[in-house]
């Protein structure tokens, strides 16, 4: 069922002085403070009592009508799990609920920060909607008359109920029903543009005909049940390095987040939710790490201080996994690690404890030291390495070279028998081919 876009919840507030030079035609653009911390879209719930600064991906395009992407979390549950327990938003218990296929009237709305050039006394701000992934055409769902009081930055509020109720054939909110098993995600695009005169609801407009802004609104009420595992925590200089197993990170995932607690130094085998730990994003640090190699580095720690570590995988909607087990570790200064490890080059290259370093320590003790040549090499190494190591530590590019050498030698030595076997097989196959050709001729 189509409804008029509610003017009560589509409003504009003059929030700042002029931000751009005067233009010669009516248009709407982003309130384009390029500061990445500037929230351009905010979710308000409980008639505005609760506020969520939504995760956003700003377009780097310089073309007209470029698209920003915004991630909107919705409450969802299974028979035993409520996804709000996994949200890193402080006001997570107030995430919007979709019931009976819609949002409660006036309860949940999105605020968009826009900059309007309003010319003339009959200028209307129009909003179009599309469910296409890369839309060029939009269907107008509402408009509001603006007086000609000049340019300005304004906050435009769109009621979630208006989106849900406009046309269920165009976009059906019932797929996010709170009482059902959660959906994955869906998306719509909203196109804000100015026009002299009112554009009727249902009118199809082409984005190329207007200077406006597009918000790609992605929505999800997903629930995660997979538990990431923290298999090992090794120490480095001002850092701890975690070896983890998690679930595959797709494009909706932001990164690994960590909770570090220096007030305790204990391990715990339990995996917990953010709610059960009583923490939100203010207690988490974004590691900006979407690694798929199982290595997560936790930097900027204080050497000599013991930390209890829990890791979470969080997506762009603010939903996180269960935590890993809690594991404790103490970062150490690199010089102390060098003396303890007695494996100078690779410890300097990898910046601390590492399985490659451990492998070469064992190989030194069990293989090299058993021969006269090996003992001579070890003696030379420990006479020379302490003088060379400071130079490695001072050159990040050289540390990377040492890492590559370490990985290559590790593979060659550890899998020497397999490599030799493959070489013999290739040799025999080649010899057979040569012999068969000789016999043929």
Domain boundary assignment for the chain: 7-220, 229-329, 334-417
d(C-alpha 105, C-alpha 31), whole Å? 28
Altogether, the residues listed in the chain come to a count of: 441
Cβ burial of 298 (10 Å; 0-12, 13-18, 19+) is: buried
Q: Which residues make Cβ contacts (< 8 Å) with residue 255, sequence separation at least 6?
A: 286, 287, 288, 289, 290, 314
| Angle at which helices 372-393 and 334-341 cross, to 10° | 180
d(C-alpha 189, C-alpha 352), whole Å? 48
Q: Degrees (nearest 5) of the Cα angle 8, 12, 13?
A: 120
d(C-alpha 127, C-alpha 43), whole Å? 18
Q: Check residue 85 and give its pLDDT.
A: 94
Q: What is the DSSP letter of 248?
A: P
User: How many C-beta atoms lie closer than 10 Å to residue 431's C-beta?
Assistant: 10
Instruction: Please count the CA atoms within 13 angstroms of the CA of 219 that sit on its side-chain side.
Output: 28
Is 298 in contact with 242 (CB distance < 8 Å)?
yes
* Beta strand spans in 136-286 (E): 137-146, 152-159, 186-196, 204-206, 213-220, 229-236, 239-245, 253-261, 285-286
Whole-angstrom CA distances from 314 to 146, 273, 309 are: 41, 12, 16
Q: Check residue 190 and give its pLDDT.
A: 92
C-alpha of 208 from chain center: 31
Q: Which of 430, 337, 350, 344 lies closest to 387 in space, CA to CA?
A: 344
Q: Check residue 129 and give its pLDDT.
A: 92
Q: Check residue 239 and give its pLDDT.
A: 82
User: How many C-beta atoms lie closer than 10 Å to residue 363's C-beta?
Assistant: 16
Q: Computed from CA positions of residues 321, 327, 333, 339, in that sequence, does the dihedral angle turn out positive or negative?
A: negative
Tokens of 204: 């199809």
Q: Which of 377, 244, 369 lies closest to 312 in space, CA to CA?
A: 244
Sheet with 327-329: strands ordered across: 285-286, 253-261, 307-315, 327-329
Write out the chain's pLDDT in tens, 441 residues: 444 344 323 333 222 322 333 333 446 665 554 444 455 688 888 777 888 888 888 776 655 667 888 999 999 888 888 999 999 999 999 999 888 888 888 789 898 888 777 665 567 888 999 988 888 899 998 887 665 445 677 788 888 888 888 887 778 888 888 876 676 688 899 998 888 778 888 899 998 888 788 899 999 988 888 888 898 888 877 888 888 886 665 656 768 889 998 888 899 999 999 999 999 999 998 887 766 567 788 888 898 899 999 999 898 899 998 999 999 998 877 656 555 556 767 777 777 677 787 788 787 777 777 888 877 777 777 667 766 777 676 677 887 888 888 888 888 887 776 776 676 667 667 656 666 655 555
Q: Which residues make Cβ contacts (< 8 Å) with residue 242, sequence separation at least 6?
A: 230, 232, 233, 295, 296, 297, 298, 309, 311, 324, 327
Tokens of 424: 């013999």
Class of domain 229-329: mainly beta
C-alpha dihedral (275, 251, 299, 85), degrees to nearest 10: 0
d(C-alpha 78, C-alpha 180), whole Å? 7
Tokens of 13: 């507030």
Q: Check residue 12 and give its pLDDT.
A: 33
Is 51 in contact with 44 (CB distance < 8 Å)?
yes
Radius of gyration of the chain (CA): 30
DSSP strand pairing (67-73 vs 213-220): parallel
Q: Which of 68, 34, 33, 64 lies closest to 54 in space, CA to CA?
A: 68
d(C-alpha 425, C-alpha 118), whole Å? 77
Q: Check residue 61 and give its pLDDT.
A: 61
Q: Check residue 122 and give its pLDDT.
A: 65
d(C-alpha 249, C-alpha 256), whole Å? 10
Q: Check residue 84 and give its pLDDT.
A: 92
| Angle at which helices 416-440 and 396-414 cross, to 10° | 60
Tokens of 190: 């909203």
């Amino acid at each position: 069922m189509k409804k008029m876009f509610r003017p009560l919840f589509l409003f504009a507030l003059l929030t700042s002085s002029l931000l751009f030079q005067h233009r010669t035609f009516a248009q709407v653009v982003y309130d384009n403070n390029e500061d990445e911390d500037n929230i351009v879209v905010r979710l308000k719930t409980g008639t505005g009592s609760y506020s969520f600064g939504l995760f956003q991906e700003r377009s780097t395009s310089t073309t007209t009508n470029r698209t920003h992407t915004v991630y909107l979390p919705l409450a969802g549950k299974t028979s035993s799990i409520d996804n709000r327990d996994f949200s890193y938003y402080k006001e997570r218990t107030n995430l919007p609920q979709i019931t009976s296929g819609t949002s409660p009237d006036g309860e949940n709305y999105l605020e968009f920060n826009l900059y309007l050039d309003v010319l003339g006394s009959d200028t209307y701000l129009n909003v179009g909607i599309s469910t296409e992934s890369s839309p060029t055409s939009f269907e107008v769902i509402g408009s509001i008359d603006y007086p000609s009081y000049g340019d300005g930055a304004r906050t435009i509020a769109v009621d979630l109920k208006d989106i849900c109720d406009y046309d269920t054939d165009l976009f059906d909110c019932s797929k996010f029903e709170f009482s059902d098993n959660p959906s994955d995600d869906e998306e719509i695009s909203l196109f804000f543009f100015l026009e002299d005169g009112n554009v009727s609801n249902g009118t199809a407009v082409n984005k190329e005909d207007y200077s406006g802004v597009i918000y790609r609104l992605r929505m999800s009420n997903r629930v995660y049940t997979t538990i990431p595992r923290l298999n090992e925590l090794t120490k480095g200089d001002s850092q701890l390095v975690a070896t983890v197993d998690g679930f595959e990170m797709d494009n909706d995932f932001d990164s690994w987040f960590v909770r570090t607690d220096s007030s305790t130094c204990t391990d715990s085998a339990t995996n917990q939710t953010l709610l059960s730990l009583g923490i939100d994003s203010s207690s988490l640090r974004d590691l900006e790490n979407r690694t798929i190699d199982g290595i997560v580095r936790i930097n900027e720690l204080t050497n000599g201080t013991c930390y209890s570590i829990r890791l979470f995988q969080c997506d762009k909607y603010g939903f996180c996994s269960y935590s890993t087990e809690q594991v404790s570790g103490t970062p150490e200064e690199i010089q102390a690690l060098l003396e303890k490890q007695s494996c100078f080059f690779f410890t300097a290259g990898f910046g601390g404890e590492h399985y490659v370093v451990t492998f070469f320590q064992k190989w030194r003790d069990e293989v090299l030291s058993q021969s006269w040549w090996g003992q001579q090499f070890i003696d030379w190494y420990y006479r020379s390495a302490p003088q060379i190591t400071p130079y490695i530590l001072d050159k990040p590019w050289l540390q990377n070279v040492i890492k590559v050498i370490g990985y290559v030698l590790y593979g060659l030595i550890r899998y020497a028998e397999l490599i030799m076997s493959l070489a013999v097989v290739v040799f025999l196959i080649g010899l057979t081919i040569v012999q068969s050709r000789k016999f043929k001729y």
